Amino acid sequence: MTFNKWYIRLNWTALVLIYLVVIAGSFVRITGSGMGCPDWPKCFGQWVPPTEASALPDDYKEVYSAGREKKILKFASLLEKIGFKAEAEQLRRDKSLLIEQDFNARKTWTEYVNRLFGFLAGNAVLLVFLWTLFRYRRNKLVFLSLLNLVVLGLEAWFGSIVVATNLVPWTITVHMFLALLIIALQLLIISIITREGRQSELKLSPTMKWIIWISFLITLGQMFLGAQVREYIDELTMSGYGRESWTEKLGLSFWIHRSFSWLVLVILTWLAWLNYKGSRSRLIYLSYLMLVLELIGGVLLAYADMPGLVQTSHLLFASILFGSLFYTILRLRTKGGEIHA
């Protein structure tokens, strides 16, 4: 079946917008703007946030703190019902979560722009679902586009939980992995609708296929470990430890994360060399480039006092590496195990 070129472009646009949300979310985190809007989906009760504290009522801190407490208690009850009793009790006991920050226009508008990107991505995914439902009606595509819309809605709801819990570290990690799931689903849709028009078929050796799978699984594990390391750094920072103390206090997760980064580099270097000798797949070259850039960012984060933007680029390159490897795997499944450039 041939798909409309604008439908294909809409799906690629949705993917780009999803990545922009990831970038914006990381920028929000490094600038400490996550609590720039204390409520959700509005910001200080408005669709367009204020620019000055004088526009807010005198008791705004008490109002939003009380609203946050209600949401935390509801979320804690949900966690308790599904078996996370310790986490639920920790949320109930931690009164620091109810402390409201002073209004900061820069942080408020940084978070607001992040939400605007989320709004655009959400509408793009919604349009994909509606177009699929009314124009193509293929069960698999309808299901995938609906599932992606549902997961995106879950991600938006969980974003409100992240805000309500005052950026509790583990909630940020869950938030990130929901974003990766959305990227994976969108890539799966794109893989299906672009399958018929692919040219320049390339055959990969069994060795290259195994390398791609191993690289993808290690990359996924690395992103989880990276999120754990970032959580520990946040805790150390809040406890008053400086950058010079991080390495010795981060523990096993940091050392595994660092060591496996070099392992992935060796594996993907081997894959890039095999690719150069035969297949010349652009996806493999893209994966290798993203890994190199990600490693450079990781080294700068670990050993140099670099600006926070390095954190954003590190996450961006890791997310693109995840996407390119996953899309390569999807291509491996088409037409008898052949991959296209």
Q: List the chain domain ranges.
A: 1-197, 202-341
| Alpha-carbon span 122 to 16, nearest angstrom | 12
* Residues β-bridged to residue 338: 203
Look at the block and give the residue holding tokens 């140099």: 304
In 3D space, the residue among 271, 252, 290 whose CA is nearest the CA of residue 205 turns out to be 271
Residue 336's pLDDT is: 43
Residue 59's pLDDT is: 79
CB 226 within 8 A of CB 257: yes
Tell me: cis bond preceding 206? Omega within 30 of 0 counts. no
DSSP codes, 215-255: HHHHHHHHHHHHHHHHHHHHHHHHTT--GGGHHHHH-HHHH
Residue 168's pLDDT is: 62
- Report mean pLDDT in 10-residue bins for the chain, 341 residues: 87 95 80 74 84 82 79 82 81 76 85 89 95 85 94 83 64 81 95 68 74 88 76 64 61 71 85 81 86 78 61 81 90 53 40
| Alpha-carbon span 27 to 34, nearest angstrom | 9
Q: Where are the alpha helices (DSSP H) in the chain?
A: 5-30, 60-81, 85-93, 105-131, 139-164, 169-193, 206-238, 246-250, 252-277, 282-303, 309-332
Instruction: State the Cα torsion 83-86-87-91 to the nearest 10°.
Output: 130
DSSP codes, 165-192: TTS-HHHHHHHHHHHHHHHHHHHHHHHH
Q: Where are the alpha helices (DSSP H) in 5-45?
A: 5-30
Instruction: State the Cα torsion 69-70-74-75 to the nearest 10°.
Output: -40
pLDDT tens for each residue of 17-65: 999 988 888 777 777 676 777 777 788 888 888 888 888 877 788 887 7
Residue 148's pLDDT is: 95
